[in-house]
Structure 1
Amino acid sequence: MTKTQARERSRQTDQPSAGTVRLRNVTKTFGDTSAVHDLDLDVAAGEFVSMLGPSGSGKTTVLRMIAGFEEPTSGTIELGGVDVTNVPPYDRRVNTVFQDYALFPHLTIAENVGYGLKVRRVSKAERATRVQETLEKVRLGHVGDRLPNQLSGGQRQRIALARALILEPEVLLLDEPLGALDKQLREEMQIELKQIQRRVGITFIFVTHDQEEALTLSDRVAVFNNGKIEQVGTAREVYEHPQTDFVARFLGLSNLIPAETVGASGATVSIRPERVRLLTPDATVGDHEHALPGTVAEIVYTGPATRYVVDTDNGMRMIASVQNAHHPEQDELLQRGERVLAVWTADHASVVP
């Protein structure tokens, strides 16, 4: 059985295995403010799930309830099939990695990683063995005798991860752990984190407001908005087939077009900018293509691609993303004020229910 099949079986079985997470009708209020509304979520053992959403959408509150730092106002939380709704954090087989590394500056890396085992009174010999094994898992087996200030930001983040992993949790909760890193290091750490999760094989639940990060890391993404989950699915499912206007807009750029404009059923049609071509006004359009005439209103150079903002003649605004595959010295392919046809293939668009 493959890892994917095992996850699917875990989601479907009536006897959840260690590492599964199940939230049912979970609500959390703070005074008169409702942070989470009647939320359901299932996470399979060994799965990497990201909770993605803007600030204030409820994702961190849900993470804290799974960890036991907050109690739900109503609803239940199960870990491995056991109801832990009112169980304190220290009696749950979960661990949390925060954005702040919180390493002890006066302790060596090995002492930092082994601190939890020391509190649990694990013998010195076993502690040393497990510390070294865990450091190897995060590819930092050679830094055990160094101090935290002798490591880079990315290395310190991996040490914080190792400190959580050494306690062998069934579920690892990560609250925007890469948020303090610069863009290049953050992208490198995304790959590292995904590889570490595959090696250790435990359940990861990851909170982020970064859409690209969620798509890069996750087996599935839960998109949060106003204390509710708008959609759950694989990265491809939520990006290619958004189920609400919010998901279409939040998960990257999207052109949302009234369905009647293109003769489709439903309320709205979503077409991603990379699937919109800009042609000359007199270009021939195929039988299975849609076209809207308009004028280039703005040009945004982003490095790998150039975005063209087009004001269409029927009062809409379309964005087309064109890969910068031309010669570096070549001028822009189009200029502001130029007339164009915004064209896309009909089956490249998704109807938003």
Structure 2
Amino acid sequence: MPDTTPPAAPGEIAVAVQGVHKQFGELVAVKDLDIDIRAGEFFSMLGPSGSGKTTVLRMIAGFEEPSAGRILLHGADVTRAAPFDREVNTVFQDYALFPHLSIAENVAYGLKVRGVARGARAGLVEEALAQVRLEHVAGRLPSQLSGGQRQRIALARALILRPKVLLLDEPLGALDKQLREEMQVELKQIQREVGITFIFVTHDQEEALTLSDRVAVFNDGRIEQVGSPREVYEFPETEFVARFLGVTNLLPSPLSLRLLGDPQVHSLRPERVRLTDPAAPVEEGAVAIPGTVAETVYAGPHTRYLVDSADGTRFIAERQNAHTPRVGPGIARGDRVSIRFDRGHATPIPGAVPAAAAA
């Protein structure tokens, strides 16, 4: 499914990456890349290690030069410009706070380097700390703050310089799961309040879906798909996107043809698969396949079931644990069930090659 986000009006492109290629010796890290990132959006670059996403971020920041192509910031060509000549700033995973300076001094450091007078700095520091809701820690040292607080201070230090684009290189990667999820909400709220373009690099699929207005899914130096979180999850354009973004059941061409009458490869998300009594009547528009539960995996809010159909195909189903506590879900390993899903819930993958065509 194509990206259906309304196109930006002329002049609303914050970052344009045009035909960018990056090679390190024999290694090709980025291959003929084109991206338009809109002003004011939260744009995530998602992909596994080595997919090229961090290299693209570093080229936008000016830490690396493209081997070919060009990079525009609000229409200005900055391909060969030094990092300090670009109206961007970067937040890293390791915070990079000065341990001997107070929080206020850390936040003010960039202004001091730029020669902003002490009196003017004080008001700007207070405003920046208010944006990340940490005015009360101005006099403390970094060692006296939690990991989440230090990350927000790093964000305040970047925002105080009023960049047109803020680059974030896996800034939440060092935090534990609960704190990372809390910071995701904080980060999105801050981005909406300041209205600055955020470009966020992550390998965490859930993080990208939670935070982003749009996501670019990277693989092997190229972009596989760009779209809203809903688009890339619900309508993957390649098998890689379907597999990388969460868990899915890939229905190969012969199975799709038999079950759906369509030879295209289809993606069927586990939350759309129902396990019912084999004797229950089949709902209109549904597909029903006999199967046996091979394994159950309890994961707190939901349980995942691995189910083998009669022809040996393994399906994954997920069920929310909405049953009364202390009462089991009623499905156990070895149970015979009917695997069911609505035909419309299996979405074709246009970039996947059907088995007949591949042969």
* TM-score between the two structures when normalised by the length of structure 2: 0.93
SS at structure 2 position matched to 1:285: coil
Q: 1:110/1:331 Cα in 2 relative to 1: closer, same or farther (>3 Å)?
A: same
Q: Deviations over 1:293-351 (max 9, x none)?
A: 11111100000000000011122110100000111111242111111111001112211
SS at structure 2 position matched to 1:20: strand
Q: Deviations over 1:16-58 (max 9, x none)?
A: 24x7101111111111111111111111000000101111111
- Structure 1 CA distance for aligned equivalents of residues 312 and 106 of structure 2: 60
Give 1:143 shift.
1.0
- Structure 2 CA distance for aligned equivalents of residues 52 and 291 of structure 1: 35
- Structure 2 CA distance for aligned equivalents of residues 117 and 234 of structure 1: 36
- Is residue 309 from structure 1 mapped to residue 311 from structure 2 by the alignment? no
Report what 1:149 is aligned to: 143
- Structure 1 CA distance for aligned equivalents of residues 94 and 263 of structure 2: 45
Q: Letter of the aligned partner of 1:349 in structure 2?
A: A
- Is residue 200 from structure 1 mapped to residue 194 from structure 2 by the alignment? yes
Q: Letter of the aligned partner of 1:261 in structure 2?
A: R
Q: Deviations over 1:242-301 (max 9, x none)?
A: 111111111011111122132343521111111100012222112301122111111000
Equivalent residue pairs, number: 344
| 1:91 counterpart (81, 85, 88) | 85
- Structure 1 CA distance for aligned equivalents of residues 124 and 228 of structure 2: 34
| 1:318 counterpart (312, 315, 318) | 315
Q: Deviations over 1:212-250 (max 9, x none)?
A: 100000000111111111110001111111111111111
Aligned-pair Cα RMSD in Å: 1.4
Report what 1:274 is aligned to: 271
Question: Do the aligned residues in 2 keep the contact of 1:256 with 1:269 (CA within 8 Å)?
Answer: yes
Matches within 5 A, 1:110-149: 110-149=104-143
| 2:262 counterpart (254, 259, 265) | 265
Report what 1:291 is aligned to: 288
Report what 2:46 is aligned to: 52
Question: Do the aligned residues in 1 keep the contact of 2:250 with 2:265 (CA within 8 Å)?
Answer: yes
Unaligned ranges ≥5, structure 2: 351-359
Report what 1:70 is aligned to: 64
- Is residue 300 from structure 1 mapped to residue 297 from structure 2 by the alignment? yes
- Structure 1 CA distance for aligned equivalents of residues 340 and 48 of structure 2: 31
SS at structure 2 position matched to 1:246: helix
SS at structure 2 position matched to 1:329: coil
Question: Do the aligned residues in 2 keep the contact of 1:266 with 1:351 (CA within 8 Å)?
Answer: no
- Structure 1 CA distance for aligned equivalents of residues 286 and 292 of structure 2: 19
Q: Letter of the aligned partner of 2:204 in structure 1?
A: D
SS at structure 1 position matched to 2:135: coil
* Identity %, equivalent residues: 66
SS at structure 2 position matched to 1:192: helix
Question: Do the aligned residues in 2 keep the contact of 1:52 with 1:221 (CA within 8 Å)?
Answer: yes
SS at structure 2 position matched to 1:298: strand
Give 1:12 shift.
4.1
Question: Do the aligned residues in 2 keep the contact of 1:266 with 1:352 (CA within 8 Å)?
Answer: no
Q: Letter of the aligned partner of 1:316 in structure 2?
A: T
- Is residue 335 from structure 1 mapped to residue 332 from structure 2 by the alignment? yes
Question: Do the aligned residues in 1 keep the contact of 2:275 with 2:340 (CA within 8 Å)?
Answer: yes
Moved more, 131-140 or 265-274: 265-274
Q: Letter of the aligned partner of 1:335 in structure 2?
A: A
Q: Letter of the aligned partner of 1:334 in structure 2?
A: I
Question: Do the aligned residues in 2 keep the contact of 1:290 with 1:346 (CA within 8 Å)?
Answer: yes
Q: Deviations over 1:83-113 (max 9, x none)?
A: 1111111100000000001110110000000
Q: Letter of the aligned partner of 1:303 in structure 2?
A: G
| 1:81 counterpart (75, 78, 95) | 75
Question: Do the aligned residues in 2 keep the contact of 1:138 with 1:162 (CA within 8 Å)?
Answer: yes
Question: Do the aligned residues in 1 keep the contact of 2:321 with 2:329 (CA within 8 Å)?
Answer: no
Unaligned ranges ≥5, structure 1: 1-6
SS at structure 2 position matched to 1:181: coil
- Structure 2 CA distance for aligned equivalents of residues 261 and 27 of structure 1: 43
Question: Do the aligned residues in 2 keep the contact of 1:270 with 1:351 (CA within 8 Å)?
Answer: yes
Q: Letter of the aligned partner of 1:66 in structure 2?
A: I
SS at structure 2 position matched to 1:38: strand
- Structure 1 CA distance for aligned equivalents of residues 261 and 22 of structure 2: 39
SS at structure 2 position matched to 1:70: coil
* TM-score between the two structures when normalised by the length of structure 1: 0.95
